Amino acid sequence: MGVIYLQQLREYFASFRVQIGLFVVLLFFLLNGVLASLRIEQMREDDALLRANIEQRYERVQTVASGASTRFRVANEPTGTEFMSEGGFNWFWGSVWMTAETGVFMGFYYARDINVWMDRFESLDWTLIVRLVLSFLCIVLAYDGIAGEAERGTLRLVLAYPISRIQVLLAKFSAQLTVLGTAFVLGSLISLVILSFGADLALTVELLGKYLLYGAAVGIYLSLFLLLSLGVSALMRSSVSALVLLTLTWAVVNIILPQSSYLAAVRTVEVPEEMRSEAGSYMSQVRWSLYNEGRGPRSPETARADDYAVERRYARLMEDAEKEGYRLGQVWLDRKVERYEVARTVNLLSPAYAFQYAVEALLGTGLPKRQHFLDQAFEYRETLRSFLRERDAGDGDSPHLLFHSEFMSQEPLDGDQMPRFVEQPLSPADGVAFSVVPFVVLLVETLASFLFALWAVNRLDVTGYAMAEDS
Amino acid sequence: MANQIPILIRKELLAHLRTLRLVVALVFTVVLCLFTTIMGSLDYSLNMRAYEKAVDELHQGMDEARVFEALQPDMYVPPQPVQILCRGIVQGAGQRFRLFLRDYFLGVDQVGASSADDLMNTLVQVDFVSVVSLVLSFLAIALGFDAICGEREQGTLRLLLSHSVSRGQVVVAKLLGGVLSVWSPLAIAFVASLLVMQANPDVHLTGDDWLRLFLLFLLTCLFLAEMFALSVLVSVYTRHASTSLIVCLFGWLILGSGYSSALPAVARHTLDWPPWQEFIEGRNAEWQHFYEAMDEWEEGHPPLTPAYYRGFRRDGILRYVHPQGYEWLDARAAFEFDKMLEMADRVEKIRWQNQSPLAEQQFVVDEWSVLSPVTGYRVLGKWLARSTLEDRFQIARYGFRYRESYIDFLRARFAAEGWRRWYTDDPPDTTPMIEDPASVTPEMLAGDAPFLQERLAWAEDRWQDDRDDPRRRLDLTGLPEVGPGWQRTLPESLQRMMSGLTIMILTLGLAVLLTVRRFQTYQLS
């Protein structure tokens, strides 16, 4: 078996297809390194503006009351591994606007500059290269792994040796995996070198850990395509037919199926446009109806006379309205995710996306990061509120009508003292938890293609091969 | 001699049609095209519903508007059926130009719920054109890569040339036979897709649409012929089918998926663009100027006491104000209207400076796409389906002219009837809520003062009687209508396609020419 392995390996590295394949892979990684460096440079400028904009808001705070009425903004942080897996970092909401004031819903938007004028395109990250280019290289390497030898008649010779068919299969498979592994390692190193010089990427132990995890996932994903190709190669009577079938399958699972997930999701879960503004409009409706009924707050001077009786009732009613409003907002947010989950489930059928979702979760990006960030944004509003509540409680003159800034403490407050938002990255344990499902899908699919390859090789009848194709 | 060609073509065609690769590709193509067209057609219906709903709401809003300030006759463009096959940047949705007077933007947005969804925006969408550009182009390669060198290796080429046919005839017949073989699955898939579209009751194809669909079919034929000719070219320049195959495969990968992934990323990250924050600051400054101008005007035209302007406000509209108060408010509205439009123009200029480099990135992608046959075909398809960014701007530019005509309409109306209609629906003879404002003290106007409460109660009663007064309805005769011209005509679309088409035809011609030339001296052994 070892002999076949070495023999295959030598043959591959000497072959035209591997040389051109390696060249293409390295070209893509080179492009990835250059583009990612440019992107990181741009993001440093973007982020300086973003941080300044966020800080300005705290500088405007003068009193406890103005702390309650100021519209603050929080933003997410890059994971630093966007060049490996962008994971929706540019397109998912990364910025939330909020105020402590009762009855105002939060606003969500992108954190950094995006280009809404462009056709959607996927960022050229490692994941895209692995998903498309390396998996295609698997097919190019393995489509004639069995059928080609059968056509040339050498398969009979190989099988004449005292080794089992499984051993032949495994020897070929490991030689191919070695070639692909070499392509990935060389390519990723090129990308890393460019990034470390071009964008001062720090090569830390943490990054090494992520790299190894990533490499393991790449190994599983490529094994799947290799085994599938070898299986089809053993099954088909001609190598060209095997190639056509494999490439079309590749195009379907890697490109077309994922692209139709959008249509599937839109058809399955409806998110009416009204839902987007429902939270805000519900709360302002309650506010206006209270005003119209004359139960709205009066001027602070008038209200003081009867110890804020009307205002207290107003605050109580608005408190309930806020609970309902935030519930409605949550329904909308959940519904959006529900729709997206349909698309993800369709995508998950494709090993390419099983791989992508697994590495996204492991690298702490993708949908898990978005959800984690939004949860933290909601928590931060609570943090802001409890800070202001405490400061307001310390002022004896305040009417303590909480989060109606007109009826809160006028004591001076320095914005610098207010708590700041810092996004906590997804913990490794959570990342692993989120990657379990896609990983299991990927492993099951890999195992299935292994069994398929095994079955196909064992049922192979080496005597009946004709030399020509399709006859 | 010449009548040998049909025989040779027939031989090629039959040889291809019987192969497993063609059958596999045919099944894949038809199934995938049907699948994407069905999904696209269903999505078209969803988009149509969203569009109809939006238009209904627009009409309802216009019916209910009582003052011109609240009127917003947005321009709506329905989803286009041809875009089911080529969704492009408009994603097959209806489009809307929002007619803001205060703050407009030379851009359009999509009508439909999923258009502004951050999650859904990350998903790339599929259509007929993208399926064909991948699957059928691959078939063209799979049929063409061994056309010459494969037959040489098998020894059949020598046999073929031993007959009394010229080399030129053989190679032309090979090209034609192969192209016809690739066109057959295309024809089936295209007809199947058309049938799916026709089965959808929401789809109404106009003559122009049929013409565009026909041209899309021709364009696809041209594209497949180009891909096939290129792979035969590789085949005639190589000695072994296996080498030819590898060159073709990697060529296909790079020209298709590789180039289409890399091009937008390169355009996005190598071209500079100004940060959005610059626009925000510029706009805030313009608003500041506007407020200052209004303050200045008010200093020059001091208002009377508040009692002259105290009216009854319902649904955002002020009513029952004293005639002298109205006089001042009219003068103010006239001034504000001009200032507002000036400001809107200036803000738009800043916004355009900020956004046009971003639009430029997409234009660069579209321009450079023609270099690769696969992306070139996709872009040409988008031009035909009018789903490029340029086509969106076409709608926006039309919307902008429509806005101008709407402003002219408003000016003419106010010149004839006075400015009151801008902000209130009180007819000229309305009894004011406070008939003698000179005698009213500030205390009488305090929130809970009995005088004010009594007057508000009067106005409330009065409003119940007045609300159905036909004179309060907004007279919209003469309101400009959205006419033709919001989208490109076919000659205009074709004009934009010229460079791409030229490159496509030149590539095809060059590939055929080189193949024929090289084959004359092709070594058989």
Cβ–Cβ of A91/B121 closer than 8 Å?
Answer: yes
Other Cβ atoms closer than 10 A to A157: 11
Nearest-by-Cβ selection for A88 from B122, B135, B250: B122
Cβ–Cβ of A35/B266 closer than 8 Å?
Answer: yes
What is the mean pLDDT of the segment spanning B5-26?
Answer: 79
pLDDT of residue A221: 95
> Has residue B217 got a pLDDT over 90?
yes
Are B249 and A251 in contact, with CB atoms under 8 Å apart?
A: no
Give chain A's radius of gyration (CA, Å): 30
For residue A224, the distance in angstroms to the closest alpha carbon of chain B comes to 20
Cβ–Cβ of A256/B361 closer than 8 Å?
Answer: no
Q: Where are the alpha helices (DSSP H) in B100-166?
A: 128-131, 137-144, 149-154, 156-162
Which residues on chain B are in Cβ contact (under 8 Å) with A267?
39, 42-43, 46
Cβ–Cβ of B20/A238 closer than 8 Å?
Answer: yes
Spell out the long-range contacts of B470-474 with Cβ–Cβ below 8 A and sequence spacing 24 or more. Answer: B471/B425, B471/B427, B472/B66, B472/B425, B472/B426, B472/B427, B473/B66, B473/B425, B474/B62, B474/B65, B474/B66, B474/B67, B474/B68, B474/B71, B474/B421, B474/B425
Cβ–Cβ of A339/B88 closer than 8 Å?
Answer: no
pLDDT of residue A307: 84
* Distance from C-alpha of A254 to C-alpha of B139, rounded to nearest angstrom: 17
Nearest-by-Cβ selection for A42 from B20, B250, B269: B269
| 3-state SS, residue A72 | strand
CB pairs A-B closer than 8 Å: 211
Global pTM reads 0.88
Q: Six-digit token pair at B509? A: 């011609």
For residue B217, the distance in angstroms to the closest alpha carbon of chain A comes to 21
Nearest to B142 by CA among B259, B227, B220, B219: B227
Per-residue pLDDT reduced to its tens digit, B125-144 = 788 998 899 889 988 998 88
Q: Which residue of B37, B91, B123, B272 to mutate against A (max A Cβ within 10 Å)?
A: B123
H-helix or E-strand containing B276?
Answer: helix B276-300
Q: Pick the residue from chain B with its C-alpha nearest to A51.
A: B277
Which residues on chain B are in Cβ contact (under 8 Å) with A256?
32, 36, 126, 130-131, 134-135
Question: Which phi and psi angles does A310 have, rounded to 5°?
Answer: -65, -40
Q: Pick the residue from chain B with its C-alpha nearest to A140.
A: B246
For residue B39, the distance in angstroms to the closest alpha carbon of chain A comes to 6
Which residues on chain A are in Cβ contact (under 8 Å) with B120?
262, 265-266, 339-340, 343
Q: Pick the residue from chain A with its C-alpha nearest to B240.
A: A16
Question: Which phi and psi angles does A70 have, rounded to 5°?
Answer: -70, 145
pLDDT of residue B410: 94
Nearest to B334 by CA among B417, B423, B428, B419: B419
Nearest to B432 by CA among B310, B333, B313, B306: B310
For residue B254, the distance in angstroms to the closest alpha carbon of chain A comes to 8
pLDDT of residue A470: 41
Cβ–Cβ of B245/A243 closer than 8 Å?
Answer: yes
Contacts of A359 (CB under 8 A, 6+ apart): A84, A85, A127, A213, A214, A217, A435
* Distance from C-alpha of A402 to C-alpha of A400, rounded to nearest angstrom: 5
Q: Six-digit token pair at A402? A: 């909480």
Nearest-by-Cβ selection for B362 from A118, A266, A267: A118
For residue A336, the distance in angstroms to the closest alpha carbon of chain B comes to 8
Q: Six-digit token pair at A87? A: 């994971």
Identity of the residue numbered B189: A
* Distance from C-alpha of B369 to C-alpha of B357, rounded to nearest angstrom: 18
* Distance from C-alpha of B209 to C-alpha of B224, rounded to nearest angstrom: 22
Cβ–Cβ of B269/A122 closer than 8 Å?
Answer: no
State the residue for tokens 């190019």.
A140
Q: How does residue B115 score in pLDDT terms, banded at 50, 70 and 90? A: low
Which residues on chain A are in Cβ contact (under 8 Å) with B260?
121
Q: How does residue B114 score in pLDDT terms, banded at 50, 70 and 90? A: low
Q: Which segments within A271-426 are labelled E, that is strand?
A: none
Q: Which residue of B136, B269, B445 to mutate against A (max A Cβ within 10 Å)?
A: B269
Per-residue pLDDT reduced to its tens digit, B429-438 = 888 888 888 8
pLDDT of residue B376: 94
Query: Can you give the length of chain A in residues?
Result: 471
Per-residue pLDDT reduced to its tens digit, B347-383 = 999 999 988 999 999 999 999 999 999 999 999 999 9
Q: How does residue B18 score in pLDDT terms, banded at 50, 70 and 90? A: confident
Per-residue pLDDT reduced to its tens digit, B231-279 = 999 998 988 888 898 899 899 989 888 898 889 988 988 888 888 888 8
Q: Which residue of B268, B270, B281, B387 to mutate against A (max A Cβ within 10 Å)?
A: B268
Which residues on chain B are in Cβ contact (under 8 Å) with A38?
269-270
Q: How does residue B7 score in pLDDT terms, banded at 50, 70 and 90? A: confident
Which residues on chain B are in Cβ contact (under 8 Å) with A111?
none
Q: Six-digit token pair at B182? A: 């690739």
pLDDT of chain A, 471 residues: tens digit per residue:
788 888 888 888 888 888 999 999 999 999 999 999 998 888 888 888 889 989 999 999 999 999 999 999 999 999 889 999 988 888 899 999 999 999 899 999 888 877 888 887 888 899 999 998 999 999 988 888 887 777 777 777 777 777 788 888 888 899 999 999 999 999 999 999 999 998 888 888 989 999 999 999 999 999 999 999 999 988 887 888 888 889 888 888 887 787 778 878 888 888 887 888 889 899 999 988 888 777 888 888 888 888 888 888 899 999 999 999 999 999 999 999 999 999 999 999 899 999 999 999 999 999 999 999 999 999 999 999 999 999 988 888 888 888 888 888 888 999 899 999 999 999 989 999 999 999 999 999 999 999 999 999 888 776 655 444 443
pLDDT of residue A85: 92
Cβ–Cβ of A271/B117 closer than 8 Å?
Answer: yes
For residue A467, the distance in angstroms to the closest alpha carbon of chain B comes to 9
Which residues on chain A are in Cβ contact (under 8 Å) with B388?
none
> Has residue B329 got a pLDDT over 80?
yes
Which residues on chain B are in Cβ contact (under 8 Å) with A243?
142, 245
**How many angstroms separate the first and last alpha carbons of chain A?**
33
pLDDT of residue B374: 94
pLDDT of residue A400: 85
State the residue for tokens 């040998």.
B4
pLDDT of residue B158: 78
Contacts of B153 (CB under 8 A, 6+ apart): B146, B240, B241
Specify which of B105-109, B509-513, B521-525 reaches the highest per-range mean pLDDT: B509-513
For residue A328, the distance in angstroms to the closest alpha carbon of chain B comes to 17
Are B153 and B240 in contact, with CB atoms under 8 Å apart?
A: yes
pLDDT of residue A162: 77
- As to burial, measured by CB atoms within 10 angstroms (0-12 exposed, 13-18 middle, 19+ buried), residue A427 is exposed
Distances (CA, A) of B173 to A245, A335, B114, B163, B179: 27, 58, 50, 14, 10
Nearest-by-Cβ selection for A115 from B113, B257, B268: B268
Cβ–Cβ of A38/B269 closer than 8 Å?
Answer: yes
Cβ–Cβ of A244/B117 closer than 8 Å?
Answer: no
Nearest-by-Cβ selection for B275 from A38, A46, A272: A46
State the residue for tokens 């969704």.
B87
* Ramachandran assignment for A413, one of left (phi > 0), alpha (psi -120 to 50 degrees), beta (any other): beta
> Has residue B309 got a pLDDT over 80?
yes
Q: Which residue of A71, A73, A86, A118 to mutate against B (max B Cβ within 10 Å)?
A: A118
Which residues on chain A are in Cβ contact (under 8 Å) with B267?
118
H-helix or E-strand containing B451?
Answer: helix B450-466
pLDDT of residue A463: 63
Which residues on chain A are in Cβ contact (under 8 Å) with B249?
136, 140, 247
For residue B267, the distance in angstroms to the closest alpha carbon of chain A comes to 10
Nearest-by-Cβ selection for A122 from B43, B119, B124: B124
- ipTM value of the model? 0.84
DSSP character for A254?
Answer: I
Nearest-by-Cβ selection for B118 from A46, A91, A123: A91
Average pLDDT, whole number, for chain B?
A: 88
